[in-house]
Amino acid sequence: MKFKRALVMACAMAAVLAMGSLALAADVIKIAVPSPFTGSAAGYGDNVKAGVVMKVEEVNAKGGVNGKKIEAVYFDEQCDPKEAATVGTKIAGDKDLVAIVGHLCSGAHLAALPNYVRVGVAALSPTATNVTISDKGKDAKGQYWSFRNVYLDDFQGTFLADYMLKQLNLKKVAVFYENNDYGIGLKDAFVKQAKANGLQVVGEEAYMKGATDFTPQLTKLKGAAPEALFIAGYYAEGALIADQAKKLGINVPKFGADGLDNADYIKLAGPAADDTYLTTPFLAETAGPDAKAFIEAYKAKFKRDVDWMSANAYDAAGMIIEAISKVGPDRAKIREYLASINTKEKAFKGITGLTYFNEKGDCVKPAYVKMVKGGQFVPAPKQMTN
């Protein structure tokens, strides 16, 4: 009898604990944040995570959304398409995850996206810029499930070609690009506009992710006597390219896009990073009052300067959370809400400015130019109207 009584009590306690767990689960709304948190692109993922953390903590400190706390669940996909496809399957299959802030890299976003389209969950990337994403987010009903609050590579590639010629009067450029979705898309847009402008492309060379010796390609490009070097890739390889170019005596300005925009580019390249120009969607020096408050809070919390990925991730998380507050934690309704932000009048007002989407989930954002000078990122002396 004693054993049976103990068994009954144990079952009762287990039931109470289970009910408590369900109650706690019901008090939380989860969003997925897939990004690279290990590997060569971990510096990017850390910045995206910082932006999401800032927004989630801010919302939860005010009581959450309709009485429920927001929880960000982080998935490490290393910016690798294979890993991203696996992570995408997990996210799509977990119905507790009501929306996605990510992916960070274009190739990862493209690899995971079919999972999200198949089950119907919206993914809002703060950073993926490849042009082909625009046509990959549509389901059989013609509804788009991919959104992004960053400009596209065709825009920044074109912008950089114009900037070189019109602002710096450069005439000959060598192109070095990473052989992936991001690098090729950016390179193609840049070369197309350069040739249209009369900016001579004296050589094009490709490299693979993770490569460490770029001497053979750089030696070949040096022989063409370029006045500038355009690097279409990410910061880890970009820093090595800058360093090795300097050692080979290629002392010309370097240009890149958002992929080089990370503090680790300067740390890894050292003095060779100087005289590098970058496009960026967010420049702290031009920020408005709301953004300045975010920048100060960010510095106080993370003890470092804010970068554009953190700012964009903060706004992307803000848009997802706003959608949840308006229509509830329903995957389909969240997508509908995001798709309804389709005019300037309906735009989401964030620290990076106004964001609204076209029919494919893309947006138009301004570009700024910053450069490395004295081992620091500073605004370029010459800006250009978009």
User: Which of 188, 216, 202, 200 lies closest to 164, judged by CA?
Assistant: 200
Spatial separation of the C-alpha atoms in residues 39 and 147, rounded to whole Å: 26
Residue 160: predicted pLDDT: 96
pLDDT grade, residue 4 (50/70/90)?
low
Report the chain's C-alpha Rg in angstroms: 23
Residue 1: predicted pLDDT: 43
Residue 169: predicted pLDDT: 96
Residue 54: predicted pLDDT: 98
Q: Which of 7-16, 86-95, 355-364 has the lowest mean pLDDT?
A: 7-16
Question: Which residue in the block uniquely carries the two structure tokens 């490490």?
Answer: 76
Spatial separation of the C-alpha atoms in residues 366 and 92, rounded to whole Å: 32
138 beta partners = 144
pLDDT in tens, 53-107: 999 999 999 999 999 999 999 999 999 999 999 999 999 999 999 999 999 999 9
Residue 9: predicted pLDDT: 53
Please check the confidence at residue 19 and state whether its pLDDT lies above 70: no
pLDDT in tens, 187-234: 999 999 999 999 999 999 999 989 999 999 999 999 999 999 999 999
What number is the average pLDDT over the span 103-126?
97
Please check the confidence at residue 3 and state whether its pLDDT lies above 60: no
Strands 368-373 and 376-379: antiparallel
Residue 236: predicted pLDDT: 93
Residue 286: predicted pLDDT: 83
- 82 token code pair: 């294979």
Q: How many CB atoms lie within 10 A of CB 170?
A: 20
Spatial separation of the C-alpha atoms in residues 308 and 126, rounded to whole Å: 9
Please check the confidence at residue 319 and state whether its pLDDT lies above 50: yes
pLDDT grade, residue 117 (50/70/90)?
very high
pLDDT grade, residue 181 (50/70/90)?
confident
Mean pLDDT for the chain overall: 92
